[in-house]
Amino acid sequence: MGASADRRLVAGRYVLGGPLGRGGMGTVWRADDVLLGRPVAVKEVELPGGPPGAGREALRERALREARAAARLNHPGVVTLHDAVEADDRLFLVMELVEAPTLRDLVDGSGPVGHAAAARIGLELLDALDAAHRAGIVHHDVKPANVMVTAGGRVKLADFGIASLQDDTQRTLTGAAGAPGGADRALTAAFGSLPFVAPEQARGGHAGPAADLWALGATLWFAVEGVAPFERAGPAATLGAILHDPPGRPARAGPLEPVLLALLVKDPASRPRATDLRRMLERPATGTAIPSPPVAGAPGTSPAARTPTPTVPVAGPPAPTLPVAGAPVPIPTARLPGGPGAATEALAGPAPPSGWGDPRNVPRRRRPGRQQLPGWTSPPRKRRRWGRRLLVAVGVLLALSVASNLEEDRPGASGPAGLGDPARDGQFEFVVRSVDCGARSVGEGIGRKQALGQFCLVALRVENSGTEGRTFGGGHQYLFDDAGKRHDPDLDATVRRGDGHLWSTHLNPGQRLEGTLVYDVPDPVTMARVELHDAPFSGGASVELG
């Protein structure tokens, strides 16, 4: 199969289509593997500029070697690298095509995620990194833009096999900082990943698996806070914060806070191991709080502060107290006069007058200007009828509850949403217009796609009826059959049909979006409902099809 005039053929096998995105190291293209007949993603890598030389050639050879090593990494949490080829003096990395937004896209569009969801993301990323580290591969560029969150909530880590190349590129650029203005240009070139770079990596030293764990901590911090822990106004300030500043305390992390602080320790040797980190993440992932362990190197911690001072009860008068390092110095006290069993203490100083502190010797004070007349007695005080008022309040609540139930039982009262009815989740109001199943293919010409079973076409409208901008993602709109099985949208088929805007579109308040999502489902099957979400981890709104 050849390539059309507007579609490039790479290495006689990969037909490049439209661009999926662009990063600091090149452009990612949607492509077709014409040999195996499958869609793939192809990253066209841009090597550092300058005249060709031994250094540039060595960098290309190393990139090819490490990319091919990463291609042997087989893990469900890693975007699979299928191939690495050279063509037209360029390097192309052929990867699994993942139809999903990145964690950065989700946070930027929908706001920070909850700490339990972030902990689950952390566990999946940790499993992927642990598998890579066991295979001798260090990612070097873990960041939210490289974390793909699929429609089912699964996580995939991208850019294995290129991160080391990016690390070398940044060192090459940093080496040019001796020229006037070179430092600022070098830092700006590396700024895309700088907020997530470990201190040892930022210094140009050896960056091993512990550097990936630092970046994991910074990524999870971004997930729950919406900003990286050391991100500052400019690249130089960000680099200084990474090298010298403590991370502070996150505001929204909840039980995830001790995990983040443990990962962001400056000393790589003091960061938790993968086995310990997995245990620390499992508890907040299930909503269980974990104790805050002492973080090595954190400010305000010392051996004296972490070790409690044992207390031993002693009979008789208290023994003299000696100051202990790290403990508060006790204030000298003196006994008040009284019986042998008196235990009251006061600050040392002149002894109080005799009888001071005895309530029997304190004369009762009378309010000035009020005197009790002879033979006059005060009227009985009114008793507050709190019990009666409480009963009245309970009765009102019961009446309102009965009225609400009667309203729900009236004919015509609203029930589950159906076709054409509005259904709301979060800030989005959805209307499913129709669900048509039975199509065998979608698209035209070279873009035509055949169904594995049958295509179901779900025509819908979504409107942002809230007060803030939100990003609609087609990947987390689900179709359920009558057996309760969930079917995810086929976003590739949706794009080929001409509704690519349903993949991911930002909607400001009042904006509306319409289109048709395509689902590849078995044949025969009966569809029961559509479940619609304004974010991957939202509660969802259901539209019944029966």
Query: DSSP for 328-381?
Result: PPPPPEEEPS--TT---EEESSSPPPTTTT-GGGSPPP--TT--PPTT--PPPP
6 DSSP 8-state letter:
T
Backbone angles phi, psi at 96, to 5 degrees: -60, 135
What is the residue type of 9? Answer: L
Q: Which of 105, 130, 141, 159 is catalytic?
A: 141
Closest CA to 49 of 25, 85, 22, 21: 25
Q: 40, 26 in Cβ contact below 8 A? A: no
Residue 144's Cβ-count burial label (10 Å; 0-12, 13-18, 19+) is: buried
Dist. CA 451–CA 399, nearest whole Å: 56
Closest CA to 277 of 76, 129, 116: 129
H/E run at residue 131: helix 115-134
What is the residue type of 368? Answer: P
The count of other CB atoms within 10 Å of the CB of residue 156 is 22
Dist. CA 354–CA 405, nearest whole Å: 71
Say what the alpha-carbon torsion angle 48, 82, 29, 66 is, to the nearest 10 degrees: -10
> Considering all CA atoms of the chain, what is the largest pairwise distance in Å, rounded to the nearest integer?
118
- Annotated active-site residue 436? The verdict is no
Report the catalytic residues.
141
